[in-house]
Amino acid sequence: MPRTGSVDRRGVLRLAGGSLAAFGLTAAGCGAGGGSGDGSVTIRYAWWGSDDRAKRINETIALFEEKYPKIKVKTDFQPYLDFWKKFNTQASGGNPPDVFQNAIGFLRKYDEKNVLLDLGAQVEAGHLGMDGFRAGLEKFGEVDGKLLGVPVGSNSMALVIDENVFRKAGITPKPGWTWDDFDAAMVRIRDTQGRAGDSGMYGVMYLYDLYLRQHGKAFFTAKGLGFTEADLKEWWTKAYAGVRSGVYADPRKVAQIRPKSALAAELAGCEFTWDNFAVRYTSEGRSGYGLAPIPTTDGKRTGQYLGSLMLSGSKRTEHPKEVAQFIDFMVHDPEVAKIMGYDRGVPTTTAQYEAFEPTDEVNRDIAAYEDQLVASGVLEEITPHPSGADVAESAFLRLAEELALGKRSVDDAVRQFFSESKTALGR
């Protein structure tokens, strides 16, 4: 959009939101959540993410406060791990934010701790609309009949490839290709392109979940783990062999170049990750990058589902109506989509999906990838994770890396994972 010397009201609000964010403040000021003499209320909104996400979110909040002048929003954002440390402290003290960014791994955990607001009553009251969502995503935040989260952006696992490497190696991944096809491709890349095939899939919990789903299992059930020690031993034995043979990238080198990805650093030819993360490779690397389909066991079933970040409310909020109105605005208003883009995934509602038309090739590829998944009919439902799933996921990632670095044997890593997970999951 061309810029002129004049700035409209929305522009002023956006600039104000960005300036305040730079000083760690918000348009709502510094006070605690509550009400005031003029009938206005303040709600607290917290999320994790980068400075860029913070800037975008502050712009959307400025638009919300323009539409709802009686509702002020005080914001707080942190990096992922710091966010949950602070949130745990707030929740334990009975003072969580009124509304906050959430993920499926935390729904049951905080529901059992009596932290999450069931938004169903607000839907019935007409303050929150749950129509117009894509691909059944309106059900994503439901647990045991309660609406505990509303999705704001969808994503799915994908294989991000260095297109130049795959082309030179003569490899063209197509829907329905198998794990045997994938393994052969990784060997070919190693032998012909002077780098590892993959960055290291052994620690990607959500990829392993898809592999298990292809075999009629899942990483989590509603109550605990959905696989056995023998299953994990098979997965990690193959991973260990792949690292030693050079099919997967050297984990020591991968650790040295973090936070840059092994794919962008040219240590590997591909990497499994969420589709909306594909944007990072273009900014980090020198090659062209694309999205390839997930390998299958039978040539058909990928085990995939659409995941999503969500917005949840606090059960302790004094302003459930305003929280619902805020969430409704953030998932339905077209202007929000134009500001956020695919920062939190592809917009979950049709109105927002149609409002944002990506101009760059990477984001167009992300949208096309998800459209293809929906059209192909391969998508499945995700099981809401049990309480303690976040601890199990952290253990999986840590132990997989220790295994890859040679600090643990496969048997030791498997035993330790099940020991820690059973403690975290309470079963």
Query: Would you give per-residue pLDDT tens digits along the chain (427 residues)?
Result: 333 333 333 333 333 333 333 333 333 333 345 666 678 999 999 999 888 889 999 999 999 999 999 999 999 999 888 999 999 999 999 999 999 999 988 999 999 999 999 999 999 999 999 999 998 899 999 999 999 999 999 999 999 999 999 999 999 999 999 999 999 999 999 999 999 999 998 899 999 999 999 999 999 998 899 999 999 999 999 999 999 999 999 999 998 998 889 999 999 999 999 998 888 888 888 999 999 999 999 999 999 999 889 999 999 999 999 999 999 999 999 999 999 998 889 999 999 999 999 988 888 999 999 999 999 989 998 877 898 998 999 999 999 999 999 999 999 999 999 999 999 998 6
The two structure tokens encoding residue 154: 């969808």
C-alpha to C-alpha distances, 239 to 231, 233, 341, 412, nearest whole angstrom:
13, 10, 35, 15
Contact of 25 with 53, CB cutoff 8 Å: no
Query: Domain for residue 49, yes or no?
Result: yes
Q: Domain containing 46: what range?
A: 10-155+307-376
Query: Domain for residue 357, yes or no?
Result: yes
Query: Domain for residue 87, yes or no?
Result: yes
Query: Domain for residue 296, yes or no?
Result: no
Query: Domain for residue 423, yes or no?
Result: no
DSSP helix/strand/coil, 167: helix
CATH at residue 64:
3.40.190.10
Cα–Cα distance measured from residue 283 to residue 248, given in angstroms and rounded to the nearest whole number: 23
Query: Domain for residue 21, yes or no?
Result: yes
Query: Domain for residue 115, yes or no?
Result: yes
Contact of 389 with 220, CB cutoff 8 Å: yes
DSSP helix/strand/coil, 325: helix
Cα–Cα distance measured from residue 280 to residue 68, given in angstroms and rounded to the nearest whole number: 35
Query: Domain for residue 293, yes or no?
Result: no
Contact of 144 with 222, CB cutoff 8 Å: no
Cis? peptide before 259, omega within 30° of 0: yes
Handedness of CA 201, 206, 210, 213 (dihedral sign): positive
In the chain, the number of structural domains is: 1
**pTM of the entire structure?**
0.82
